[in-house]
Amino acid sequence: MIKIITTIHEAVETINHIKKLGLSVGFVPTMGYFHDGHIELMKRSIKECGETFVSIFVNPIQFSPGEDLARYPRDLERDTAMAASAGVKYLFCPEVSEMYPEGFQTRISAGPLASNFCGASRPGHFDGVCTVVAKLFNIITPDRAYFGMKDYQQLVVIEKMAEDLNMKVKIIRCETVREKDGLAMSSRNSYLSPEERKAAPALKSAIEKLKEEIIAAGGSKFKDFNIEKAVERQKAFLTAGGFKGVDYLKVASADTLKEAKNAGELSSMAGVFIAAAAFIGKTRLIDNAVFGLDKKTVNAHE
Ligand code: AMP
């Protein structure tokens, strides 16, 4: 039986009871409208923890005016059934007024890791994400919390928040779950028309092609490799493939998220993060690749 909890009071009481039994608590925060990406996070938590809490909360303070807060897909009945069949026993679904009662005013300010990529396009987004995640961590007091690599910048920002604020929770990274044609699963994919859905996997293809070029260039120590041109080629591929515009396509360090503006900066990085956000119709999709540069290959010609 799955239990739907809507108040903070009941969530805390339930957690207290679980902890008295000596069980560890796993937590999967979400905005709902589940797909297999969410379900994988839940299954992993269930496997690794004594009890698992999943939250569904479409967090208004992480949306900018003019974004899709009002039309963000919601279906609690469907979500409840999916979570129950994955084995989840506790769903925490608070109302906005429960999380942000009148007079609520505090914000967590995410640092420089939040300044580029989605943070640049969506001002205040990561402050809103950090604030709600910190609140949820304080309510649920999880031992482990599961986040998807699909939102890699978010994951790194949350890892840093947990470290900087001495939060006791362990943040667990989970691989991006994809559709058969490569499209990263996302609740926002439900916005796509059939034609847009057909074109959408080009985002993953563009990232993969850029990744292959970088790995190949690494093989010859990035001699004559021009990042800017390689990025421009993939942006052109996206717009030719039906994307209306590319918000960003950038190459950065997977650790510091510092952008690599040239081959020299790229060659000093152990891990690479290719980050992309692009518009297809009215829908903004994001995706990424995180990979290591094989230093053995890079140095093979020395
Ligand atoms: P959301 O409901 O979109 O806010 O996502 C809730 C959690 O699920 C976040 O940690 C996301 O990174 C994760 N997530 C979303 N899509 C995927 C995916 N395709 N694969 C793995 N994790 C995902």
Question: For 24-73, how does the pLDDT look when each residue is reduced to its tens digit (9 = 90+)?
Answer: 999 999 999 999 999 999 999 999 999 999 999 999 999 999 999 999 99
Instruction: Examine the domain organization and report whether 168 and 199 are in the same domain.
Output: no
User: What is the rounded average pLDDT of the residues 216-234?
Assistant: 93
Tokens 């679980």 locate to: 18
CA angle 97/30/198 to nearest 5° reads: 125
Which residues have C-beta atoms less than 6 Å from ligand 1? 30-31, 37-38, 41, 147-148, 150-151, 174, 176-177, 184-187
Least confident residue range of 13-27, 83-97, 285-299: 285-299
Q: pTM to 2 decimals?
A: 0.96
What percentage of the chain reaches a pLDDT higher than 90?
93
d(CA 263, CA 298): 12
Nearest to 252 by CA among 131, 130, 159, 152: 152
pLDDT averaged over every residue in the chain: 96
Q: What spacing in Å lies between the alpha carbon of 189 and ligand 1's midpoint? A: 12
Q: Where are the alpha helices (DSSP H) in the chain?
A: 8-20, 36-48, 76-86, 96-99, 118-121, 125-140, 152-164, 194-199, 202-219, 227-240, 263-267, 295-298
What is the length of the chain? 302
The amino acid occupying position 208 is E
Are 269 and 193 members of one domain?
A: yes
Distance, in Å, from the CA atom of 258 to the CA atom of 269, rounded to the nearest integer, reads: 10
CATH at 206:
3.30.1300.10
User: Are residues 236 and 199 both part of a single domain?
Assistant: yes
SS3 101: coil
88 CA → ligand 1 middle, Å: 16
For residues 167 and 200, membership in a common domain is answered with no
Asked if residue 293 has pLDDT above 90, the reply is no
Question: Same structural domain for residues 144 and 195?
Answer: no
My answer on whether 145 and 254 are in the same domain is no
Mean pLDDT of 143-156: 98
The answer on pLDDT for 197 being more than 70 is yes
Q: Which of 149, 174, 199 is the last residue of a domain?
A: 174
* Nearest residue by C-alpha to atom 14 in ligand 1: 148
Q: 132 C-alpha vs ligand 1 centroid, how far in Å?
A: 15
Q: In which domain, by residue range, is 243 found?
A: 187-291
**Nearest-atom index, ligand 1, CA of 175:** 21
Same-domain pairing of 13 and 103: yes
Domain shared by 209 and 118, yes or no:
no
**Residue 284 DSSP one-character state:** E
What pLDDT shows up at residue 3?
A: 98
**pLDDT per residue over 92-123, tens digit each?**
999 999 999 999 999 999 999 999 999 999 99
What pLDDT, on a 0 to 100 scale, did the predictor assign at position 281?
95
Nearest CA among 112, 79, 106, 73 for reference residue 93: 79
> Do 117 and 140 sit in the same domain of this protein?
yes
Do residues 139 and 269 both lie within one domain? Answer: no
In the reported structure, the alpha carbon of residue 295 is separated from the centroid of ligand 1 by a whole-number distance in angstroms of 31
In three-state secondary structure terms, 148 is strand
pLDDT at residue 299, as a whole number: 36
Taking the CA of residue 186 as reference, the ligand 1 atom at the shortest distance is 16
pLDDT at 294 over 70: no
Q: What is the pLDDT of residue 221?
A: 85
pLDDT value at residue 90: 98
Separation CA 92–CA 17 (nearest Å): 16
Domain count along the chain: 2
